[in-house]
């Protein structure tokens, strides 16, 4: 990265966004007690995650302009492009016709693309930084993506809205806390060689 001061605030902003989205999603299952209101709760979660995906992907796109290395920049832009596309599709074309099962597959696929982007970027960061914590968000996204796909494929009939909300809550909360921690490390830990990182 050109300089961590250009990158840490985006990482922390992504973390705060993930934490706020997780809190918004988990608040709804506790408020929804009747079967009649559950479709509205599902719709709310889909919209919340679609907006989160678009905003997070926009932050990743901005971060790519502070990346000098080719492969991390390509990975970040690919990740942000897919995130913005899937979020936009959820809000427009697929929203009215989508089944909950498709949502799990789509979210799983999106998390796997996030994992690739995070791991490629982290491999570049770890060459210049005292910590390898940046890889944790990539591995967490990979595990989360695989978990969603496995849940959809194996336990489709058993999936309830409450279970879905709690799975998404724990993933987004963990991802957000890790991002905030990594952003703080970028801010306070000195790079190995010099402030300018290419």
- Residue whose C-alpha is closest to residue 49's, from 118, 117, 98, 7: 98
**Alpha-carbon span 171 to 158, nearest angstrom:** 20
Quote the Cα angle for 172-73-193, to 5°.
95
What are the pLDDT tens digits along the chain (198 aa)? Answer: 444 556 788 889 999 999 999 988 877 765 555 555 566 777 777 788 889 889 999 999 998 887 777 888 888 898 899 889 888 887 876 555 556 667 777 778 888 888 888 888 777 666 655 456 668 888 888 988 898 888 878 776 676 777 777 888 888 898 899 889 888 877 776 554 444 443
- Residue whose C-alpha is closest to residue 186's, from 139, 124, 144, 116: 124
- pTM comes to 0.77
């Amino acid at each position: 990265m050109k300089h961590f001061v250009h990158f840490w605030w985006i990482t922390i902003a992504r973390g705060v966004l993930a934490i706020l989205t997780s809190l918004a999603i988990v608040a709804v299952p506790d408020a929804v007690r009747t079967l009649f209101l559950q479709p509205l709760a599902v719709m709310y979660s889909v919209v919340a995650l679609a907006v989160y995906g678009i905003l997070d992907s926009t932050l990743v796109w901005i971060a790519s302009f502070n990346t000098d290395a080719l492969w991390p920049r390509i990975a970040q832009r690919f990740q942000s492009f897919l995130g913005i596309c899937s979020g936009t599709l959820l809000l427009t074309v697929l929203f009215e016709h989508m089944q909950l099962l498709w949502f799990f597959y789509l979210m799983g696929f999106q998390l796997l693309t996030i994992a690739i982007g995070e791991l490629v970027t982290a491999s570049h960061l770890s060459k210049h930084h005292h910590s390898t914590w940046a890889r944790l968000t990539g591995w967490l996204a990979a595990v989360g993506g695989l978990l969603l796909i496995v849940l959809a494929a194996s336990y489709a009939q058993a999936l309830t809205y409450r279970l879905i909300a709690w799975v998404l809550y724990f993933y987004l909360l963990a991802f957000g806390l890790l991002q905030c921690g990594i952003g703080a490390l970028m801010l306070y830990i000195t790079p190995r060689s010099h402030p300018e990182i290419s």
